[in-house]
Amino acid sequence: MQQGSAALPKALRESPRSWLVTGAAGFIGSHLVEFLLRNGQRVRGLDNFVTGKRENLAAVQKSVGSAWGKFEFVEGDIANAEVCQQTCAGIHIVLHQAALGSVPRSIADPQITHRSNVDGYINMLEAARARGVDRFVYASSSSVYGDHPELPKREDIIGNPLSPYAASKLIDEVYAGVWFRTYGLPTIGLRYFNVFGPRQDPEGQYAAVIPRWLSSMQKGQACIINGDGETSRDFCFIENVVHANLLAATANASAFGQVFNIACGERTSLRQLHDSLQRALLKLQPKLKCMKPSFGEFRSGDVRHSLANISKANTLLGYSPLVGLEKGLEILVQSAAENQGS
């Protein structure tokens, strides 16, 4: 974390809690586990390894050293209500990251997306309520804005979802509000905008664009841009997302039952992203031969443009991005180089 967030780790260390991170072996979940352990917290992790990776947890263990003794891992599926009840026992704060991501995956198999992202999500909400959890912070997505054209995106104005994945995340937000108003469970939703960083999987059919492109560039291969390259996104480095989760976990009651955009508030086209990533890589490996990108078809279900208004998160959570796109890409490239050499 940067200096601007120094007070948060200090407050956590002074008042340790018990945390449950679902999707703990995933990209975002493993970074949350690492941050919490580094700051003296007791952490339980839950993952079924459908998309999470054991090597992510191994990387965390190596990073945190003796603090690993405060980590307990449960291998299980949130679609199993009993597993959710068991893992929420004795927990103060839930950081719910477990989900099946990817718009294309949800279009190919909407039922499995619903099983994890809706059925499993409700299991977690109900387990948190039954076990008296103090706070339930959950991952939502910018995909809920759907076809609404307004930029920047504001939390109170959304359109029609364009994929089963987007629909599942919108349903999650609705249920979180119901569990807060009906049962008094303090819920806070975070609408992530295109998160990237170390440990993000570059392989597979549904790999995110930045790790996929970085892998291609390192191999001297041309990156494939879906569409004309003018599609734009608000890319958000993983450190910003970790910071937002911790702010939400310690926010006052004015944030309960609400959702917040978590992003940088900057719009970048895919062409610009390709050039920025290439520059970051060449800065570290100046002799690397980089190819010009090739262009493919637009992806079904993709939103054309995305840009977040982050003023609500700033006002109620105290959130502002700690790391911008260019710096985040440099950190990612450096991390990838270190991993290649290890």
Instruction: With beta carbons less than 8 A apart as the criterion, state whether 5 and 35 touch.
Output: no
CA–CA dist 307, 76 (Å, integer): 35
Active-site option among 165, 183, 206, 319 = 165
Nearest to 76 by CA among 67, 88, 61, 68: 88
Residues 6+ positions from 135 with CB-CB distance below 8 Å: 92, 93, 94, 186, 188, 248, 249
CA–CA dist 38, 1 (Å, integer): 11
CA–CA dist 51, 60 (Å, integer): 17
CA–CA dist 43, 12 (Å, integer): 13
Q: By three-state DSSP, how is residue 228 classified?
A: coil
Helices marked H in the chain: 7-14, 27-38, 54-64, 81-88, 103-108, 110-114, 120-130, 164-183, 209-218, 238-249, 270-284, 311-317, 325-341
CA–CA dist 167, 81 (Å, integer): 22
Instruction: With beta carbons less than 8 A apart as the criterion, state whether 129 and 185 touch.
Output: yes
165 carries an active-site annotation: yes
Instruction: With beta carbons less than 8 A apart as the criterion, state whether 22 and 94 touch.
Output: yes
Exposure string over 82-106, b if 16+ CB within 10 A, otherwise e: ebbbebbeebbbbbbbbbbbbbebb
Q: How far is CA 167 from CA 48, 70, 302, 331, 341, in A?
A: 23, 36, 13, 33, 41
Residue 261, both tokens: 């955009």
Catalytic residues: 165
